[in-house]
Structure 1
Amino acid sequence: MSFTLPELGYTYESLEPHIDATTMTIHHTKHHNTYVTKLNGACSGNAALNGMDLLELNQKVGTDAIPSDQQTNVRNNAGGHWNHSFFWSVLSAPSNTNGPSAELKAAIDGAFGSLDEMKSKFNAAAAGRFGSGWAWLGVQDGKLTVTSTANQDNPLMSTVVGSDACIPILGLDVWEHAYYLKYQNKRPEYINNFWSVVNWDMVNVYYADSVQGKVPKL
């Protein structure tokens, strides 16, 4: 199947001042689009890959379902496409962001003690990710967990095991291209400001689905 760059549910300026329009424009039209283009190239003429959608490609990374000569290609580019598509969906203009649902808030309190404690642990995972990667809030065995992955890996991939495997309900890109134009080397400031543009309505939907074992299908 052929993959396309998803449209955003907001303008590039919508996340100002927390994420600037220039970064959003480059991030979406250049970085994300490159992953889409390279993924289509990997799948072109390959019957094994063409039979899988984006979610399946990510879940099959590291298994025999992905041809050995395309493992790295699919891991990087299917991962990059899924991660970014997911990331755009959990962002919202500051004026539109609400908060966790009663159900999600109860789960956060049960797993972390409070919303602030969850944010603190998430922030630490994002700030502590060496080099490029992602921080995630996800559901594992019905309970919330925080983890991080390197490069364009995500917690859905078979290569991610143990406590790092989960169904993501919130994610943050901590590659330098996601923040460097505005924040330079101040990654913690970018991470703190991220909470001002979280689309909690979407996170609530992902949480409700995840406790039923449903993975976001983007």
Structure 2
Amino acid sequence: MPPQQSRAKSRPSSSKSNLSSDHDFPNVSVEVSYEALSVNEQALMYEIAKAEHQLLNGQVDLAQATEQARTNVSSSATAAFLALFAKELTRVSVCIQSEERNQEYAVKALLTSMDIVTSNARGRLSRDSVRGFQHKAKLQAEGYIQLQRFAAECSDILTRVATYADSQLHTCCVDTLSVSANKRSLSSAFVVVLSDVYNAIREADNQGPGGDSKWVAPSSFERVTSKY
């Protein structure tokens, strides 16, 4: 039986930067709804069903057919599915990589903004300013986690579809996913810069008014390294 179809559902991110009004520097925001960008599993499964129907009508058993006959019949019947699968894989990959770059730029802007404000305040930020930056960093971390979860959900869907297609149509979609995963380099730039932001916040908190208390980065922040 076909695997249960689903759409990756990630709640919209609302990581908006609204630092205290007494400081003027670039606003940083991350607000994305990923649900509409998810893998179109329903369309992929429909194309698999169409290909199966064409193969059955042609009365060709791919497991028993000769190599030449299997190649000719399979390429004709599965062409539409393979084209859509490649299109969805590329679309989702580009979307996720683009959003990763946007988040990297945003967290770099946050770090630059904090450097400017800290320099103007001679390293002694007010408690409200420190809390504002803590809030910003938390929102950036939450946006990153949401994106990584979305990437993992897309990976699960594509793997499920690829596995089913390979079993029913004798395609090589799982191998295609493996090649795509190997080509995609895992970016750690966001995590590195966010760590710098956390360090700067801790230093400002310790040096500022009433800075004897220590702030700890949220324990919920984690890096998810799903390949797709």
Instruction: Specify which structure has the bigger relative contact order, considering alpha-carbon pairs within 8 angstroms and separated by 6 or more residues.
Output: 2
Structure having the higher strand fraction is: 1
Alignment TM-score, normalising by the size of structure 1:
0.30
Greater helix share, structure number: 2
Which of these two proteins has the greater Rg computed from alpha carbons?
2
